[in-house]
Structure 1
Amino acid sequence: MPINGIQVCVETFGEPVDSPMLLMAGDASSMDWWDDEFCRRLAAGRRFVIRYDHRDTGRSTSYPAGAPAYSGTDLMYDALGVLDALRVPAAHLVGFSLGGALAQRIAVHHPSRVLSLTLISTGVDGGASANTPVTVGGPVTVSAGTVTAGVRTIEAPAATDETDWSNRKAAVARMIDEVRSCGGPFTPEEPHLRRFAERVFDRSADLAATRLNHRLAGYGPSVRDLLGGIDTPTVVLHGTLDRRIPAGHPEELARCIPKARLVWLDGVGHEFPPRAVWTQVLTEILDLAA
């Protein structure tokens, strides 16, 4: 559907008369990573569940690798645009990693649009380091120096990536390896991950652009000093084995948001909630959004 001058792919589960819930995926992640059955179970809890592809993911508008005509702030407004297009005045926001960072910004700058906040595998401002290297794919190479990303310029260290993201077999294998390296004992087995990765590849216009452009766009201006003004019921869900965003980040996030509660997911890494903890995660989300 047309949103903010681009096309955004949106899918819903459940009935529009139920309480709306917006699922916001992580960086370089399409909505596919929100498992279909996970979405159906949320909908069975009498929620109108909405998931969508960020720019440069899935079926949404794609940009040339290394030249995203958007910023992290635009990604935030895309989420609001999805709600506007569906005529949803406010929703329960569930954000993973980058999605959690965007949800924080919506809660700070547009509090009337937020019914509750579930922040998964994220931290203050997403928990990202300013020195996070830029990863590129296929033939794209970024030299050390500055890179213009939408409306801002960032420092980009030299980076290369030998994966040919236009090659289905190579791209799928790389995605599987990355999920398993970031996961834990409950991470799905290879056949399950392969089905996910193949679906992601088949729905993506340019995975090299997906991975580079989100890093360049960033999360948007910091909201660290504004989190204390959030008056929305909030739960912070974080894996005990998350090596990408260590424990100090969710702990700080829970301290900064007055009504936040930190819940640890034992044996979970930096990954979309694996099936083994669905009962815990679904209960936390639905109870918060009651």
Structure 2
Amino acid sequence: MTKMKTASHDMAGLETAPTLYVENGGIRFAYRQLGPSTGTPLVLLQHFSGNIDAWDPAVVNALAVDRPVIAFDNTGVGRSTGQTPDNIAAMARDAVTFIDALGLPKVDLLGFSLGGCVAQQIAAEHGRLVRKLILVGTAPKGGEEHLLAVLQDAFSQTEAPDPRLPLFFTKSPASQSAGLAFLKRVKARTEDRDTDNGKAVTDPQAKALITWCATPDPDRALSRAISQPTLVVSGSHDTMLPADNAYTMFKAMSNAQLMLYPDSGHGALFQYHHLFVSHVQTFLEG
């Protein structure tokens, strides 16, 4: 097992921070670490098809002002080795393997979309590892998803400069403008960008997300197993993983807060990045 580098990355942003590597369990994980070297690290769990460079620097850099923030590629994603699993439980085990490789005894988790499913699994199974949990644009086990239909619709909009514009944002002028600004930010890094591994990642990830939502959990046992303080966030018009999921999780969890953002889709945290960061900071510091 290789230990995490101890050098501080206080001055680097997501656009300029070096891509680091750590090995554990036969996997070589790629990651970037931002912010101070002390405090409870915030580990980011990424959305379907996303890698490190799919995160919004406006969110990541602002969160890293006063805490360590770690963005990484789980198994098979981006520059991490291995084969991407086709189920949430295995993705969660791999993420814990990565966290263990860094020698971190306690972390906060921010899981977005597919990453939110992984974060729930980790929090339910590893109570001592996870201090606080942030779930954004995600679903509980047995929740509602429209992944394939929404993807098909987004990719059919050939006039869009990037499929993430219709995927993450509503059709309102304000949301579309925020979306274009987001796309500019995520493309700001020009050197040492992460890699897109195509269907080798998206096929098993799609199966994992669809299976997670198709697996009945009528008593919300997994949600009820999460006792950590949790912030649940959703966009009002999320077409992929609807906001009803957020309310379902909020009701089932014993220590959750719920935040819904107006006129926003799956990428609400990017559309309202200033507000989202403020809410997360208040939650983590509380």
The question of a shared fold, defined as TM-score above 0.5 by the shorter chain, is answered with yes
Match among 222, 240, 243 for residue 244 of structure 1: 240
| 1:289 is aligned to 2:284 | yes
Identity %: 24
Match among 55, 59, 76 for residue 34 of structure 1: 55
Q: Counterparts of 1:1-290 in structure 2 under 5 Å?
A: 1-44=22-65, 46-61=66-81, 63=83, 68=84, 71-125=87-141, 127-129=143-145, 133=148, 176-184=162-170, 185-187=174-176, 188-190=178-180, 193=183, 196=186, 203-218=194-209, 224-271=220-267, 273-275=269-271, 277-290=272-285
1:109/1:193 CA distance change after superposition, 3 Å: same
Counterpart of 2:169, as a letter, is G
Task: Report deviation, 1:124.
Answer: 1.0
State whether residues 175 and 197 of structure 1, in contact with CA within 8 Å, keep that contact through their aligned partners in structure 2: no
Secondary structure of the 2:175 match is: coil
State whether residues 182 and 270 of structure 2, in contact with CA within 8 Å, keep that contact through their aligned partners in structure 1: no
Q: What are the superposed Cα offsets for residues 82-129 of structure 1, whole Å, 9 maximum, x if unpaired?
A: 221211111111110111111111111111111111100012128354
Note the residue ranges of structure 2 that are not aligned, 5 or more in a row: 1-21
Q: Aligned partners of 1:263 and 1:135: how far apart in 2?
A: 23
Secondary structure of the 2:49 match is: coil
1:97/1:178 CA distance change after superposition, 3 Å: same
Note the residue ranges of structure 1 that are not aligned, 5 or more in a row: 137-158, 164-169
State the superposition RMSD in angstroms: 3.3
Q: Aligned partners of 1:121 and 1:73: how far apart in 2?
A: 19
Decide which moves more: 223-232 or 256-265: 223-232
Q: Aligned partners of 2:138 and 2:85: how far apart in 1?
A: 25
Tell me which residue corresponds to 1:140: none
Q: Aligned partners of 1:238 and 1:3: how far apart in 2?
A: 33
Number of aligned positions between the proteins: 252
1:287/1:198 CA distance change after superposition, 3 Å: closer
TM-score, structure 2 length as denominator? 0.75
Q: What are the superposed Cα offsets for residues 124-166 of structure 1, whole Å, 9 maximum, x if unpaired?
A: 128354x865999xxxxxxxxxxxxxxxxxxxxxx9xx99xxx
